[in-house]
Structure 1
Amino acid sequence: MENRSRIRLVVLAALVLSLPVTLISRLWYMQVMAGDRYAAAANRTSTNTVHTVAPRGLVVDDVGRVLAGNESALVVSALATALPKDTATRRAELQRLAAILGVSEQDLEARVTLCDYHKYGAKAPQMNPGCWTGSPLQPIPLLRLDTADAAARATQIALQVLERQELFPGITAEIQQIRSYPSPAGASAAQILGHVGKITADDVARAKTQQAADELKTAAAAGEMIGQAGLEAEYDQYLRGTMGTRVVSVDPAGNPLGTVREIPPTPGATLVTSIDARVQQIAEQALADAVEHARTVPQLANHRMVTQHADAAAAVVIDARTGHVLALANYPTYNPGVWDGGSISQTAYDALVHAPGNPLFSQAVQGEYAPGSTFKPITTAGAVSTPYYSITGRYDCPTVFTAGNRTFTNFEGETGLGAISFAEALTVSCDTFFYKIGDTLWKADGGLTPTHPRDAIINEALGWGLGQPTHIDLPIDGSGNVETRQEKIDAWKKNKALWCAEAQTEPNPLYREYDRENCQDGYQYREGDALNFAIGQGTVTVTPLQLAMDYAAIGNGGTLFTPRIGRALVAPNGTVIQEINAPSRKLPVPADVLSYLRQALTQVTTNPLGTAYNAFAGFPFDKYTIGGKTGTAEVQALNPDGTPKDSTAWFASFGGPVGQPAQYAVVVMVSQGGQGGVTAAPAVREIYDGLYGLDGSGPYRLPHDAFAQAGPALPGGVPPATLPNVATSGVPTPTAAAANASGVISRSGTGTAAAVAPAVAVLPPERRGGRR
């Protein structure tokens, strides 16, 4: 028993003695034998990559005035890894800083906190609201640059903080850019320019490839903005440039030690547009004048002198020789500066959404309205393509035309003129003349029992590009509507149940009758449909842009362009990357018919019987030719207050120096504007006067139609033939024709303008009609 106890004690003693020996041996090994290896591991560094945002490219007008640019601001920023680690010290610093910034301490704490992606993954920003989504090595901006005023205030605050930097360890100031929309020459162009905004999860989800999605995620983390609407969105891939990278060495604690290598960002390209800021402003003012005139000066409507509701309007100015857009004006519009900085306050956004006339909506591109009598040149071309009509023939313009059990009259019951030519019918806009055409062709096709209908006017409209998108270089577009026989059948199948139900419940007797007819035989292309279509009523609708492209084609000899706003993309060093031409095709109309239409439409403005004669009274027709067509399209709908909607006022035109192909196409549309000759034509006159530097005249002169003193909006009355040159200083040299233009490009860049690259096309992206 004693021997066993002694053995146990010996073993225990040996174990006790071996422990310090083992510990000492291990320490000796780590410090002597492996000391260098462990010291190297302790001092080992790693690298992190920080992405830097590229300056966004500018958007400029045809002579270099900045439509969308960048302003710089000095912004107070925090480096998360350099902020005090001690909780009390950190809190005291953030309290001081919050007071200077004018934000709450809680909001500031959230901004300087890194999103915990290790713990929450992709949901980190939701789990830590307001946290920093970028790299820990990126300075975190502590103020939002959402307006030009905010940018100026941010710089003042940054200077205050830098003066007392000892109180703010980990806080610095970084130069940042704010997107700005300066409205040169007072032009809004808000619906064209669009805006930029933060990259959202929806943007990433819409990416076409995984690589594109990953790039967007990286850009979002770096704080980059992308185009969210308008030209900013359409040309975003060129405007964004290429992000830079900075590889930073960090210690095991994540603290930065230095920059290993750096690739600076490449600024985005400048988009030179065909928009001219002065022409855009003139068009916007002409719309405001036309709307005010319609609302305040009574005009004839339904045999009474009344004012009009005039709730929205659009103007389009096209270079008829190239297909480029000089102006796309909207009424109402708004100051694009509300998007400065890439964001908008909720109050401002709600005001735009609920504003009368919907200023966020582009009436010029997307607004679809019955064209009324502006459609009659297309009816003419369709009619003379058949054996039943000749361009030199004379046909009846009766006071009343009867089809079935219905009678159709001229505008305001005007007396017929007997047998007249197509030119005379267009000049005075005789509705019954064109009703008769629609009826004749419908009967020739077989009426309600056609076998192989020609549908000459329908197919003519399709050949002029109506009923289909224009493919303008914007993310928005409008197709209008040209209803074929098959589409009518499809619509009846889709809507029959609704029409039949509303035929029993609709309180308005006029609408109830429409529903009853559509319920019974809405699949048929009826006689009334053909008559309405022939005068631009019924189901046919067009956009102002579509009509402008068609009248440009009449004026230029038959070339139908796909409209383009972009003229060229220019690299930061001034090299032209790409010129942008408008694709085109020929109208399916014989040359002699087009020539006849051009001559006939000039009578609308020059003949005392013409429906736009009063609007163009006193215009110098010895120097300039203006041809066009008025339209007064009835609308079978009610206003919110229950009153019937007023007619849509149109004037579509082409014009240029005498003896030359048309230089411009100008179209104005005023929703609920009443007579085209009274409301829309004077606005078109104002735009032409602005283009050529003339003063308005005549009984319908609008208040701002006076440009003789200021001179032509476009020097020489023509768009500049060359691009604004980006000089070595980074400031574009205006063309000789635009030497007096202000607000030209100002950006950094080196190199001289290179030879122009080969030009390539960029593909980005109602029932009866009055006639005045």
Structure 2
Amino acid sequence: MNRSIRATAVFTMLLIVILVANLTRVQVFSEDRYAHNALNKRQYHEMQSIPRGQISTDGLVLARSVKDEQGNYRREYVTDPVVYGPVEGYLSNIYGAAGLELGYNDILNGTDSSLFASRWMDTLLGRTQAGASLELTLNPEAQQVAYSGLADRGYEGAVVAIRPSTGEILAMASTPSFSPAALTDTSTADATWSKLTSDPGAPLLNHATQDALPPGSTFKVITTAAGLAGDFTPDTQLTAAARTTLPGTETTLENYGGQTCGQGATASLATAFALSCNTAFVELGVKVGADALREQAEKFGVTDTYDLGLPAIPGTVGQLPDPAAVGQSSIGQRDVTMTVLENAVVAATVANGGKRMNPYLVSRILGSDLRTLRSTDARQLNQAISPDVAAQLTEMMRASERNTAGYTGADIASKTGTAEHGEDSRNSDPHAWYIAFGPSENADVAVAVLVKNGGDRGQAATGGSVAAPIGRAVIDAVLRSGR
């Protein structure tokens, strides 16, 4: 009998030890994982008791908290929620949070440790406890033009515009988009969520930061930079052949439309850049070499992610085991991928004399009395290329713009890309890219545009015909706004 009691007691003690160990693991080591998980709804129910800070840009209120009849605060999305949805995100009692609502959750609900003094002052003065507010860098005119440029044509893709000298993000549009207002309304939330999560276009994804795709010929800016940083000049002669065979293989690669690169057997690097000649850039990439190409891509931030308070993924350069792989990668194909944000940073870096600035979306954090608590300062990340290389690239990008479909005569420096993808890449509907900045000297805005799967032109799509008109319109909107 005593033996049975002892066995039972030991077994009970073991269960208690296991229970305590598990509770310790959950409460101590996994607290952040569970308590701050976007799907944990308890924290959002608790937040209904205080007014959450607002999100605004250039005087426009995008999101705010309003008190309902029960005395609880609910989130209201005020201005063009579909235009700003992928950036501001949503706060839902049912589906948690996303976007800036999640990334800056502790600021917006007032629990961030940096707000201790502000909370203490509110308590001392008898003011209602409230969260801090976000003031964004977005330019409303540019944001609307960017979104409309994609959505009005039914395009899937994204646009990012950046101020080169500071890193301020002036526009970030993603399509298809969604309205966060429909997710906060309990009468429409379930149906909206079901529709959004079943949409093959993935509207809940921010395609500017969460979609890394082959950049095609826009990557030639990086390949050219690597060459100019070495022994190459704009006058260096490269093959002008219509097609070439990748080194050590039987795989052929050709220029767009099977055209030769100019008139003779060779063409200058400047001419090859302006005409976007694949064969010349295969030769350039192989001569530059894998190490220099990868190093230059990394200096431009291709494999980086930026802390914007938004979910983001890095681009890739991929493995470069042999000259054939280097040749393919030199034209932005094979395993090379980039996000629209990363490609906008490339354009901004060239425009800024080779200085890569840290991109940011939140300009200021404001207290409940709208007093500035914290401002974001411009910060240089590195010198990706020398000022001399940046100047040479700028001149070559000017020539590329003059050679691009729909050239308007505006003072813009640009590069287009038409990226094949998929298993049958040569018969795919290509991704159309356009990166640019303007004015070409002392640029006030740099932009990257991606239109996925050919937009409305299928296999006939090019970066110049599909993406460039949107990019030019965004640049014009920023310059016209004067902000």
Query: Partner residue of 2:27?
Result: none
Cα contact 2:317–2:336 (8 A) shared by 1:
yes
SS of 2:397 mapped into structure 1: helix
Cα deviation 1:516-559 (Å, max 9, x = unaligned): xxxxxxxxx13321110111110010000000011101011122
Report Cα offsets for 1:343-400 as digits up to 9, x if no partner.
962211010011231100111111111111001011011123334x334423332222
Aligned residue for 2:359? 563
Is the 8 Å Cα contact of residues 179 and 341 (structure 1) preserved in structure 2? Answer: no
Match of 1:224 in 2: none
1:428–1:604 CA contact under 8 A, matched in 2 = yes
CA 1:680–1:65 in 2, change beyond 3 Å: closer, same or farther? Answer: same
Please point out which of 445, 452, 469 is paired with 1:664.
445
Q: Aligned to 2:313, which of 453, 474, 478?
A: 478
State the Cα distance separating 1:234 from its structure 2 match.
1.6
Pairwise CA distance, 1:341: 5.3
Do the aligned partners of 1:468 and 1:479 also contact (CA within 8 Å) in 2? Answer: yes
Note if 1:390 corresponds to 2:233: yes
Q: Is the aligned partner of 1:466 residue 2:247?
A: no
Pick the aligned partner of 2:407 from 616, 633, 644: 616
Deviation at 1:190, TM superposition (A): 0.8
Q: Are residue 191 (structure 1) and residue 35 (structure 2) matched?
A: no
Q: Residue deviations 1:274-325, cap 9 Å, x none?
A: 0123321111100124x44xxxxxxxxxxxxxxxxx6x21111111121011
Q: 2:466 aligns with which of 667, 679, 684?
A: 679
User: How many Å separate the matches in 1 of 2:469 and 2:414?
Assistant: 12
Q: Which residue of 2 aligns with 1:655?
A: 438
Superposed counterparts of 1:483-522, under 5 Å: 483-484=318-319
Aligned-partner residue type, residue 410 of structure 1: N
Residues 481 and 343 (structure 1), Cα distance of their counterparts in 2 relative to 1, 3 Å cut: farther
C-alpha distance in structure 2 between counterparts of 1:350 and 1:574, whole Å: 37
Residue by residue, what CA displacement relative to the aligned partner does 1:554-605 show, whole Å, maximum 9, x if unpaired? 0111221221100001112232100012432233322211100011101122
- Identify the residue that residue 733 of structure 1 maps to in structure 2: none
Separation in 2, partners of 1:316, 1:342: 32
**Pairing partner for 1:630 from 416, 428, 434:** 416
Q: 1:599 to 1:416 in 2, by over 3 A?
A: closer
- Identify the residue that residue 64 of structure 1 maps to in structure 2: 59
Q: Distance in 1 between matches of 2:68 and 2:428?
A: 50
1:264: how far off?
A: 5.4
- 3-state SS of 2:142 partner: helix
Seen in structure 2, the aligned counterparts of structure 1 residues 587 and 343 have a Cα distance that, compared at 3 Å, is farther
Give how far 1:272 is off. 0.6
Rounded Cα–Cα distance in structure 2 between residues aligned with 1:476 and 1:349: 19
Are the aligned partners of 2:53 and 2:108 in contact in 1 as well (CA < 8 Å)? yes
Alignment of 1:682-701 (within 5 A): 682-692=469-479
Query: Are 2:380 and 1:584 equivalent residues in the alignment?
Result: yes
- 2:107 maps to amino acid: Y
Q: Give the match for residue 42 of structure 2.
A: none
SS of equivalent to 1:365: coil
Could you tell me how far apart the structure 1 residues matched to 2:319 and 2:48 are? 54
- Measured after TM superposition, the shift of residue 182 of structure 1 is 1.5
Instruction: Quote how far apart the aligned CAs of 1:73 are.
Output: 2.6
- Equivalent runs, 1:331-346 vs 2, <5 Å: 331-340=175-184, 345-346=189-190
Give the Cα separation in 1 of the matches to 2:378 and 2:345: 11
SS in 1 for 2:416: strand
2:313 aligned partner, one-letter code = G
2:283 alignment partner, one of 430, 436, 441: 436
Summarize deviations over 1:223-275 as a string: whole Å, max 9, x none.
xxxx72111112221211369xxxxxxxxxxxxxxxxxx96532111211101
5 Å-filtered alignment, 1:210-609, equals: 228-241=97-110, 265-289=128-152, 291-292=153-154, 312-340=156-184, 345-387=189-231, 389-402=232-245, 403-404=247-248, 405-417=250-262, 418=264, 419-442=266-289, 455-469=291-305, 471-484=306-319, 525-606=321-402
Q: 1:401, 1:436 within 8 Å by CA — same for their partners in 2? A: no
CA shift for structure 1 position 187: 5.6
Change (3 A) 1:286 1:52: closer
Larger radius of gyration: 1
- Is contact 2:60-2:79 (8 Å) kept? no
What is the alpha-carbon distance in structure 2 between the residues aligned to residue 342 and residue 426 of structure 1? 54
1:63-122 per-position Cα deviation (integer Å, ceiling 9, x unaligned): 2201111233323xxxxxxxxxxxxxxxxxxxxxxxxxxxxxxxxxxxxxxxxxxxxxxx
The one-letter code sitting in structure 2 at the alignment partner of 1:668 is V
Counterparts of 1:277 and 1:356 in 2: how far apart (Å)? 28
Amino acid at match of 1:266: Q
Quick check: 2:135–2:365 contact (8 Å CA) kept in 1?
yes
- Mapped to 2, the partners of 1:343 and 1:440 lie a distance apart of 62
Compute the TM-score of the two structures, normalised by the length of structure 2. Answer: 0.80
Tell me which amino acid in the other structure corresponds to 2:105. Answer: D
Q: Report the CA distance between 1:198 and its aligned residue.
A: 4.0
What's 1:79 paired with?
none
Q: TM (normalized to structure 1)?
A: 0.51
Greater shift after overlay, 581-590 or 667-676?
A: 581-590
Measured after TM superposition, the shift of residue 199 of structure 1 is 9.5
How many residue pairs align between the two structures? 417
Q: Residue 198 and residue 638 in structure 1: after superposition, are their counterparts in 2 closer, same or farther (change >3 A)?
A: farther
Corresponding position of 2:21: none
Which residue does 1:117 correspond to in 2? Answer: none
Could you say what secondary structure the match of 2:106 adopts? helix
**Identity among equivalent pairs (%):** 29
Aligned-residue Cα RMSD (Å) equals: 2.7
Residue in structure 2 matched with residue 493 of structure 1 by the alignment: none
CA contact (8 A) 2:349 2:384 kept: no
